[in-house]
Amino acid sequence: MIRQQKEYSLGYALFISCAAAIGGFLFGFDTAVINGTLDALRFKLGANDLQLGLAASIAVLGAAAGAFSAGTLANRFGRRNVMRASSIMFFISAIGCGYPYFFSDGSMAEFIAWRVLGGIGVGAASVIVPAYIAEISPAVLRGRLASMQQLAIVVGIFSALLSNYFLGEMAGAAAGTGGAAIVNEMREVIGVTTIGAFETWQWMFWAECIPALVYGVLLMFLPESPRYLVTRKQPDKAASVLSKILASHIVAQKIEDIKKSLHSEIAPKFSDLLEKVSGKTRLTPIVWVGIGVAALQQFVGINVIFYYGNILWESVGFTQQDAMLTSVLSSVINIGSTIIAIVLVDRVGRKPLLLVGSIGMAVTLGLMAIIFGTAGLDQYGNPVLQGAAAWMAVISANLYVALFAFSWGPVCWILLGEMFNNRIRGAALALGGLSQWLANFAITSTFPLLLTSIGLGGAYGMYCFFAFISIFFVIAKVKETKGIELEDM
């Protein structure tokens, strides 16, 4: 019996994918680290509710800009150089957010500017990292290696929340309190905690410098994408990279396949997304479905849990450290449920997972709306949860996170990558990604205002409404893509 020669190197491909996916880790870390610092920012920089909303969400607008321009920059300067630029932006943004005193005496305007810079890095990484992994991976491993990006994002969220918790513990051990801020019995911030010569909230941001530096160093050892090298008329360099990933006898054929694909490709245009019906020009229905999938993923309010988890739980009577610990627990559940989705999505299908997730989120969000909406108030007008109600709120919130993470979280991006035909995929993905970032901004920027105007019960009632709408949207509009070749879409 003749043993078939292995056609790829799993070890090297896995190393490249994991190293590149640190960009996804920084994506998750950067968006979640704000969670533990909001009370301190309100006290130190005089932030109001609108400014707190911007502090948590403004990075998303930067991400929209970074994502929209990253593809063009990567085609011109290379995938690796764009990832390097992202790592530098992450590093500088982390320093600036922790020390918004370079150009002022400490203002939310300067802080927000540093957040925008980090957001541009987030957006660029969100587009380039999965593209780079796809271009560098053997076809048989592409799906599993590409999933490293989503896994890295949720691990980054977990790491940020865990880092915040431990820094709060360190500060609390010295100050006799917990978290980055000192709160009185009225839940008013009256001071901030310190670790050494600096304040705890500053260390929370500076913690991101470590993975950003590691990412920058590892990128020095990663090869450029073979596809990019071929476009730059450097087939020998492309072959050298591929020879470390693929068996030598198929490298030459792979180079020829890349050349043929480049010759047959047509640059995506947004005009390709339009069609004429009865003399009127409109977006094609499938593009509207993509926009709907991307927007609904955010309108169910998931990022409120990760961006504002501490404020949420503190508002119903949790201590700062208990609030941070609850957020860490939610993040662990997020990771576990994402892994379940990776295992199930090619077996069960995309549409069933979305449908189960929508129904489950509608139920759990409805429960949270009722619990928070009927909670008693203390003498200062703050809602209070005790006993069974408090436990039910925590359980419902974490069930909601689990249901999102094994359905709409990863499946949204999988579906967007599969549902469009080859002619419009690039342009449709850009539009879908833009709608997702804008929906993210709308939800995260308005939460502090909703909290003070209609309360937690009203806010979660609104997110429950969108989860309910998503059930009928999935049934009526979403088509199953499992097992269908991209060329047949």
Q: Can you give 279-292 as a three-state secondary structure string?
A: CEEEECHHHHHHHH
DSSP, collapsed to helix, strand or coil, labels residue 376 as: strand
What residues contact residue 466 under an 8 Å CB cut-off, 6+ apart?
296, 299, 300, 301
What is the pLDDT at residue 131? 77
- Which residue's entry shows tokens 């006898």? 249
CA distance 322 to 333: 17
Window from 269-278, 326-335, 442-451 with minimum mean pLDDT: 269-278
CA distance 263 to 252: 17
| CATH number 1.20.1250.20 given to 271-489 | yes
What is the pLDDT at residue 36? 80
Beta-bridge partner residues of 182:
191
CA distance 441 to 65: 13
Q: What is the pLDDT of residues 251-306, one digit of tens each?
A: 888 888 777 776 655 665 667 677 667 777 777 888 899 899 989 999 999 888 77
Of these ranges, 2-16, 263-277, 454-468, the one predicted with the greatest mean pLDDT is 454-468
Q: What is the pLDDT of residues 65-101, one digit of tens each?
A: 887 787 778 888 888 999 999 999 999 999 999 999 9
Q: What is the pLDDT of residues 142-190, one digit of tens each?
A: 666 767 777 888 899 889 988 988 898 888 765 556 667 776 666 677 7
Task: Give yes or no for residue 134 having a pLDDT over 80.
Answer: no
What is the pLDDT at residue 486? 46
When pLDDT is averaged across residues 449-464 and rounded to a whole number, the result is: 87
CA distance 21 to 137: 13
Q: pTM of the full predicted structure?
A: 0.77
Task: Give yes or no for residue 357 having a pLDDT over 90.
Answer: yes
209 burial class (0-12, 13-18, 19+ CB within 10 angstroms)? middle
Q: Tell me the one-letter amino acid at 284.
A: T
Residue among 447, 404, 209 at smallest CA distance from 310: 447
Q: What is the pLDDT of residues 374-423, one digit of tens each?
A: 887 766 566 677 778 878 888 888 899 999 988 998 888 778 767 776 56
CA distance 415 to 293: 9
On whether the CB atoms of residues 386 and 446 are closer than 8 A, the answer is: no
CA distance 92 to 120: 12
What is the pLDDT at residue 3? 41
DSSP, collapsed to helix, strand or coil, labels residue 463 as: helix
CA distance 315 to 385: 9
Which segments of the chain belong to CATH 1.20.1250.20?
10-222, 271-489
What is the pLDDT at residue 80? 92
| CATH number 3.30.1280.10 given to 10-222 | no
Window from 186-190, 200-204, 365-369 with minimum mean pLDDT: 186-190
User: Can you list the positions of beta strands (E) in 273-372?
Assistant: 274-277, 280-283
What is the pLDDT at residue 469? 96
Neighbours of 476 (CB within 10 A): 8
Task: Give yes or no for residue 7 having a pLDDT over 70.
Answer: no
In whole angstroms, how far apart are CA 368 and each of 335, 382, 444, 455? 22, 16, 18, 12
Pull the structure tokens for residue 294. Answer: 């991307």
What is the pLDDT at residue 241? 87
Task: Give yes or no for residue 315 having a pLDDT over 50.
Answer: yes
CA distance 317 to 46: 23
What is the pLDDT at residue 311? 65
